[in-house]
């Protein structure tokens, strides 16, 4: 997976490659998908949700340019896999998940993989961010939004980075947003296809 799907497609951040070598992805996919755990595609994790294609996880993590000191918010914890990757790259990760059963699964998967030490999984609506731990050095959103939620921009530190899929489900762009001097600018990293970012209630 690391050499064929990631390095060969231009993932260059050694810390990202190392993290994805080290983290046992098979522990984050449902039992009946274990044989496909390292395949080049998203996989179902129940409740109509998916664990992203490994390349997308790597690209998003690399875009955030983490060095190991950061506090990161992940919106859409799902299986917990992406949170585990971020946990290996940053100091502290808050992963928020709307579906309580998936939040419980993410906690269980992270515990089984021995990755819970610097990660907390919160059940809630991540489109509102998570104010108690804000501001964040970086925010990673694993579900597609119609637009960048204002709360996430507000909870980003100055000079912080936010990566988020924006647009209708079949035609999204992955945006990398930077906040500088209170203003934001962004560029498109790639086209993508994520499950929708939903609202609580
Ligand atoms: N990062 C996950 C990918 C999960 S798919 C992984 O590595 O497995 C996206 C997840 O976002 C789904 O679990 C979905 O339930 C969740 N989600 C959708 N809208 C959300 C919201 N408003 N707040 C928090 N989580 C949300």
Pocket of ligand 1 (CB under 6 A): 45, 49-52, 75-79, 81-82, 96-99, 102, 125-127, 142-143, 195, 197-198
* pLDDT surpasses 80 at 2: yes
Task: Mention the CATH class of domain 2-192.
Answer: alpha beta
The DSSP line for 79-137 is TSHHHHHHHHHSSEEEEEESSHHHHHHHHHHHHHTT--TTEEEEES-GGG--GGG-SEE
148-180: pLDDT as tens digits: 999 999 999 999 999 999 998 788 999 999 999
Indicate if the pLDDT at residue 86 is higher than 70: yes
CB atoms within 10 A of CB 63: 22
Q: Are the C-beta atoms of residues 154 and 129 closer than 8 Å to each other?
A: yes
**If you measure from the C-alpha of residue 28 to the centroid of ligand 1, how many angstroms do you get, rounded to a whole number?**
14
φ, ψ dihedrals at 115, nearest 5° = -115, 10
Q: Which is catalytic among the residues 52, 79, 127, 140?
A: 52
Does residue 52 have an active-site annotation?
Answer: yes
CA distances from 131 to 19, 57, 134, 153, 182 (A): 28, 25, 5, 12, 18
49 to each of 46, 98, 169, how far by Cα in Å?
6, 11, 13
């Amino acid at each position: 997976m690391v050499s064929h799907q990631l390095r060969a497609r231009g993932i260059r951040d050694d810390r990202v490659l190392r993290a994805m070598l080290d983290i046992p992805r098979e522990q984050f996919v449902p039992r009946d998908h274990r044989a496909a755990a390292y395949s080049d595609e998203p996989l179902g994790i129940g409740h109509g949700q998916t664990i992203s294609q490994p390349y997308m996880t790597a690209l998003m993590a690399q875009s955030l340019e983490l060095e190991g000191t950061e506090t990161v918010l992940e919106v859409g914890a799902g299986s917990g896999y992406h949170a585990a990757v971020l946990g290996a790259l940053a100091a502290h990760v808050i992963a928020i998940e709307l579906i309580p059963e998936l939040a419980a699964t993410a906690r269980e998967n992270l515990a089984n993989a021995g990755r819970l030490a610097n990660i907390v999984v919160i059940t809630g609506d991540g489109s509102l961010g998570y104010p108690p731990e804000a501001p964040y050095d970086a925010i990673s959103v694993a579900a597609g939004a119609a637009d960048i939620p204002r709360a996430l921009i507000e909870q980003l530190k100055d000079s912080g980075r936010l990566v988020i899929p924006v647009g209708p489900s079949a035609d999204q762009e992955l945006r990398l947003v930077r906040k500088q001097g209170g203003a934001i600018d962004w560029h498109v990293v790639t086209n993508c296809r994520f499950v929708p970012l939903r609202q609580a209630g």
